[in-house]
């Protein structure tokens, strides 16, 4: 199965709109014996903010850095999500307008639109609204306690006297499976003291490093929460004339090599 993590990682981390449970059948790491009260405060605030959202939208600027070729590629785009697992992401290259891709989740499948290939690949979701992929699982969000069990999360910046706008967290995966998606991340959330007076703990900047050394930086702007007129009809799949629709390969059974 083609893994969607490099793109969907920031997509859903930035737009996690609802709170779900840990993935069944996956053992979790034990929680720290003495939780960091600062981290607990911020994760609880993040959970409350995301739990209060019915839908979430934003525009973004994306920069991709290849570990071999130093010239970064820049993109712009938008994201829209709605409970329980509806989502739409569009990415447009700034230098090449044909460098365009999109992801759509209609609650039953995730569709990947690849413009250069003129293909649409469908990834089936299971009954819980997830698939054998970390970032598809994130489409439902994650509770703060489950996040701490699954990832090593540390506070790297939350001093309002130095920067009143952001709380910065470092996120490192603990499971081997999750490490196939990313090895390190920084997520800047809007602080309760942000000068724009936007809801606290909305995502502002997400930086990711992938196993091959590639990096992505997503900068979000023009946040919109609980908009009227956003319904399931906005997330329905429509075939594009001349494009090939294909099914993604079925995931391997548990324990099988990927």
User: So what's the pLDDT on residue 141?
Assistant: 52
Q: What pLDDT is recorded for position 142?
A: 63
Q: For the chain, which ranges sit under pLDDT 70?
A: 1-35, 126-142, 250-258
Q: What residue ranges in 45-107 does DSSP mark as E strands?
A: 55-65, 73-82, 86-93, 100-106
Tokens of 55: 């839908």
What does the block give as tokens for 67?
């570990």
* pLDDT of the residue at 228: 95
| Residues in a beta bridge with 65 | 215
- Nearest Cα neighbor of 225 from 198, 204, 247 is 198
CA-based nearest residue to 111, from 119, 103, 101:
103
**Cα–Cα distance for residue pair 124/109, rounded to 1 Å:** 4
Q: Which CATH number fits domain 5-247: 1.20.140.10, 3.40.718.10, 2.50.20.10, 1.10.287.610?
A: 2.50.20.10
User: What's the pLDDT score for residue 85?
Assistant: 81
Check if the beta carbon of residue 150 is closer than 8 Å to that of residue 22: yes
The two structure tokens encoding residue 127: 């009954």
Specify the DSSP class assigned to residue 128.
T
Q: What is the pLDDT of residues 118-136, one digit of tens each?
A: 999 998 876 655 544 454 4
pLDDT at 25: 38
Tokens of 10: 């920031």
- For residue 70, how many C-alpha atoms fall within 13 Å in the half-sphere facing its CB? 0
Q: How high is the pLDDT of residue 59?
A: 95
Q: How many CB atoms lie within 10 A of CB 142?
A: 25
- Please give the Cα distance from 154 to 187 (Å, whole number): 11
pLDDT at position 28 is: 39
The contacts of residue 53 (CB under 8 Å, 6+ apart) are 17, 18, 83, 225, 226
CA distance linking residue 191 with residue 179, whole number of Å: 28
Q: Please state, as a whole number, how many other Cβ atoms lie within 10 Å of the Cβ of residue 71.
A: 6
Distance CA 94, CA 15 (A): 22
pLDDT, position 48:
87
CB–CB of 75/93 below 8 Å?
yes
Residue 221: count other Cβ atoms within 10 Å of its Cβ: 9
């Amino acid at each position: 199965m083609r893994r969607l993590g490099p793109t969907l990682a920031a997509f859903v981390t930035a737009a996690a709109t609802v709170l779900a449970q840990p993935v069944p059948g996956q053992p979790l790491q034990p929680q720290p014996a003495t939780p960091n009260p600062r981290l607990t405060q911020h994760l609880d605030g993040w959970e409350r903010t995301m739990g209060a959202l019915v839908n979430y939208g934003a525009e973004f600027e994306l920069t991709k850095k290849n570990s071999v070729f130093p010239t970064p590629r820049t993109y712009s785009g938008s994201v829209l999500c709605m409970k329980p697992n509806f989502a739409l992401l569009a990415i447009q290259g700034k230098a090449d307008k044909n460098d365009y891709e999109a992801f759509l989740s209609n609650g039953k499948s995730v569709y990947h639109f690849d413009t250069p290939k003129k293909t649409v690949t469908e990834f089936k979701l299971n009954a819980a609204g997830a698939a054998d992929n970390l970032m598809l699982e994130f489409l439902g969000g994650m509770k703060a306690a489950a996040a701490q069990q699954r990832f090593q999360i540390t506070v790297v910046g939350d001093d309002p006297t130095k920067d009143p706008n952001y709380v910065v967290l470092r996120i490192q995966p603990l499971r081997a499976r999750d490490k196939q998606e990313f090895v390190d991340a920084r997520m800047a959330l809007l602080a309760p003291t942000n000068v724009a007076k936007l809801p606290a703990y909305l995502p502002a900047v997400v930086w990711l490093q992938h196993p091959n050394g590639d990096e992505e930086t997503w900068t979000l702007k023009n946040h919109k929460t609980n908009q009227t007129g956003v319904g399931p009809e906005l997330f329905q799949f429509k075939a594009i004339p001349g494009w090939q629709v294909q099914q993604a390969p079925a995931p391997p059974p548990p324990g099988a090599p990927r």
